[in-house]
Amino acid sequence: AGFAFAPQGLLRSFVSHSLLSFGSITGACRAIQKLTRVRVVDNSTLGNTPYHRPPKCIHVYNKTGVGKVGDKILLAIKGEKKKALIVGHKMPGPTMTPRFDSNNVVLIEDNGNPIGTRIKTPIPYTLRRREGEFSKVLAIARNFV
């Protein structure tokens, strides 16, 4: 009965699951790096079942440790490690590219196959540039921005 009002952003819904912590949270950090909390956007069971800890990034497969749209990261979800693809972040990018209000991520296998079957949230068109790597992810996406 602690959280009667809708918490700000979907990241805070993870705090509502834990009955222990009732304190302040650092604001979501901008581009994605180690220990950022992300939001899984597809309809896979692993991404959508509630857990008392939010999915966090533990490694970014990049020369710099900062992940932008189209980078692969390692996520820790429900006590397991899973790879994921970044489809949108809060950090403003180049002009004409969309900036999302949450850090969005799609769960992926090692060979690049997505685990879910549908992505409702909008995906930036810039991912189409790497059609070869992400063809299966783009195939299950519904909206583009």
> CB-wise, 110 or 131, nearer to other proteins?
131
> Least distance (Å) from other proteins to the CB of residue 19?
19
> CB-wise, 51 or 144, nearer to other proteins?
144
> Using the 8-state DSSP alphabet, how is residue 47 labeled?
H
> CB-wise, 95 or 111, nearer to other proteins?
95
> Least distance (Å) from other proteins to the CB of residue 63?
24
Q: What is the DSSP string of 16-44?
A: HH-SS--S--PPPPSSB-TT-B-EE-B--
> Least distance (Å) from other proteins to the CB of residue 80?
26
Q: Could you tell me the CA-to-CA distances from 7 to 17, 28, 79, 138, 143 in Å, in that order?
A: 12, 14, 24, 31, 26
Name the site residues for other proteins (rule: CB under 8 A): 5-8, 24, 27, 88, 92, 95-102, 104, 120-122, 125-126, 128-129, 143-145
Of residues 32, 35, 50, the one with CA closest to residue 106: 32
